[in-house]
């Protein structure tokens, strides 16, 4: 991994282009969509006839990679957060193998709604929605003791 420092911010103060860390509650979860990606580099594959092509690796056997959209709220504002691949799985609290096996998406969704976590990512301006969104880089479970200290 590479080291990026995420500035802890309130959602109302995040700006496009910066790396931010927000402590927020998941208030909405959308069913993940999947795309076909190269299993080596996770780049979206293009389709040529019956072959899947990776720009870097040529003809590949693709894997399904999830795109997960959620809405976060921290009391100051809400924002959409987008995650891909492993980050999406860690938001959902499952891994690639267990996703879709053990429980329905509705059950997962109900577990996530109201969950508080720390969300780290790059803030982007979504021109279609005229609002900021966070492209998630990682999520962290909350350590209640640490949180209490930060609140004091």
Q: Quick one: tokens of 52?
A: 């899947």
User: What average pLDDT score do residues 36-62 get?
Assistant: 94
Q: How far apart are CA 14 and CA 80, in angstroms?
A: 12
Angle at 132 between CA 129 and CA 133, to 5 degrees: 95
Alpha-carbon Rg of the chain, whole angstroms? 17
Would you say residue 150 has pLDDT above 80? no
The residue among 34, 20, 2, 50 whose CA lies nearest residue 120 is 20
Distance CA 87, CA 76 (A): 25
Q: What is the mean pLDDT of residues 99-106?
A: 73
Mean residue pLDDT of the chain comes to 90
What spatial distance separates the first Cα and last Cα of the chain, rounded to whole Å? 32
CA distance 146 to 92: 23
Residue 60: pLDDT over 50: yes
């Amino acid at each position: 991994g590479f080291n990026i420092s995420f500035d802890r911010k309130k959602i109302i103060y995040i700006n496009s282009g910066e790396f931010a860390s927000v402590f927020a509650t998941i208030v909405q979860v959308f069913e993940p969509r999947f795309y076909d990606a190269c299993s080596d580099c996770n780049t979206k594959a293009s389709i040529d006839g019956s072959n899947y092509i990776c720009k870097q690796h040529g003809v590949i056997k693709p894997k399904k990679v999830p795109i997960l959209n959620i809405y976060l709220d921290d009391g100051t504002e809400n924002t959409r957060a987008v995650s891909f691949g492993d980050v999406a799985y860690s938001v959902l609290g499952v891994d690639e193998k267990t996703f879709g096996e053990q429980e329905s998406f509705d059950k997962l969704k109900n577990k996530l709604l109201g969950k508080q976590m720390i969300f780290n990512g790059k803030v982007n301006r979504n021109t279609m929605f005229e609002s900021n969104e966070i492209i998630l880089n990682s999520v962290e479970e909350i350590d209640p003791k640490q949180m209490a200290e930060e609140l004091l």
